[in-house]
Structure 1
Amino acid sequence: MLIILDRDGVINQYDGSYICSPDEWHPIPGSIDAVARLCNAGHRIAVATNQSGIGRGYYDVDTLDAMHDKLKGLVEAAGGCIDLITYCPHRPDDYCRCRKPQIGLLEQIRTHFQLNSLNGAIMVGDSRKDLEAGLSAGCDVALVRTGNGLETECHLQERPIPRARIPVYNTLSSFADAVLAAEGWQKQNESV
């Protein structure tokens, strides 16, 4: 299965401030191990992240690459692999097609993996725009309560996304636990 992760607030700590250097980039406890466990179970992992800090001039592409090198290095040290990271460098007022909730980043991922569609993929995010992008691209979606997740969960109760079933998990680690437990149950039943 292809699992697409938002970055800020899902994999790394995020309080609403721009993360402008690798030194400011800190993983949420358990998130790196969660990615590695999903990889080791045979899942492909991609990241789709809005990074308007580039368009605002807070950091450049080389700095973003250094943050992503740190992320990939930590995941590899834990025994996993991130297959692809896509990002949107534009400001919200650029109205680009790649900035979530638009689906441009997810289309880049679909093309990279040579898929006809993203049906069966899961988009994991902490914001409404992550969920809307995933649903618009044909993914299943999941919300985590880290980052903006608690606030998003409250807003979804007030203003739900029509016709969407959105499971909610405390962290990326608890999402991974649920995916891996469900697969274990399926494998046990397939072998009976």
Structure 2
Amino acid sequence: MAKVAVFLDRDGVINQDTGYVSQVDDFHFIDGAIEALQLLKKKGYCLVVVTNQSGIARGYFTEDAFMQLTEWMDWSLADRDVDLDGIYYCPHHPEATVEAYRQQCDCRKPAPGMLLEAAKHLKLDMATSYLVGDKLSDLQAGKAAGVGHPMLVKSGQPLSEEAISQAEAIYDDLLAFAKAVPAISG
């Protein structure tokens, strides 16, 4: 039987989006985010982070620095009984200053590549899965990948009218979503 996932954007959903977060000292979990992830795991969901990281392509930080921060985040969550089922990232940007990352790819949201890769590796039921993001490109990636439930959270950034129109629901934060989503039966 296919599993049901909650796909999560990182910056603005799990941690405060202060712009190109690449260092542990700059990474701050949003209040209630860890509790939300714990609750989603208890409710039976696979948790999959899908994050654009154009700061790598722009030369603001290296892929190694991103990986170090990601390992720290993963360990910090594991220490709090949250085991992420997958972490997928896109280091590309079509106007990258670092040539190795300059490309039009199928993984940079709004393209669905990261979600489709996760679906294949984790055997996910996309139609019953959720995507929680804070901007239009998140929702567009979810829709293109066949995710059945696109959700928005308020990150402090303005929500576009188009994003609002494509969201099934809008929540104040990840914890509000986690409390509202039903547990997986069976």
Settle same-fold status: TM greater than 0.5. Answer: yes
- The one-letter amino acid of 2:145's match is A
Q: Is the deviation greater in 45-54 or in 66-75? A: 66-75
Residue number in structure 2 paired with 1:24: 26
Residue number in structure 2 paired with 1:8: 11
Q: Distance in 2 between matches of 1:10 and 1:35?
A: 11
CA RMSD of aligned residues (A): 2.0
- The one-letter amino acid of 1:80's match is V
Question: For structure 1, which runs of at least 5 residues remain unmatched after alignment?
Answer: none
Taking structure 2 as the reference length, what is the TM-score of the superposition? 0.86
Q: Is 1:73 paired with 2:75?
A: yes
Residue number in structure 2 paired with 1:152: 159
Residue number in structure 2 paired with 1:88: 90
Aligned length: 175
Give the match's secondary structure for 2:126: coil
Give the match's secondary structure for 2:84: coil
8 Å contact kept, 1:46–1:82? yes
Moved over 4 A (4+): none
Higher helix proportion, which one? 1
Give the match's secondary structure for 2:159: helix
Give the CA deviation at 1:92.
4.0
Give the CA deviation at 1:34.
0.8
Give the CA deviation at 1:154.
4.5
Q: 1:69 to 1:58 in 2, by over 3 A?
A: same
Residue number in structure 2 paired with 1:61: 63
Residue number in structure 1 paired with 2:100: none
Question: For structure 2, which runs of at least 5 residues remain unmatched after alignment?
Answer: 96-102
Give the CA deviation at 1:81.
0.9
Give the CA deviation at 1:20.
2.4
Question: What is the aligned counterpart of 1:111 among 108, 120, 126?
Answer: 120
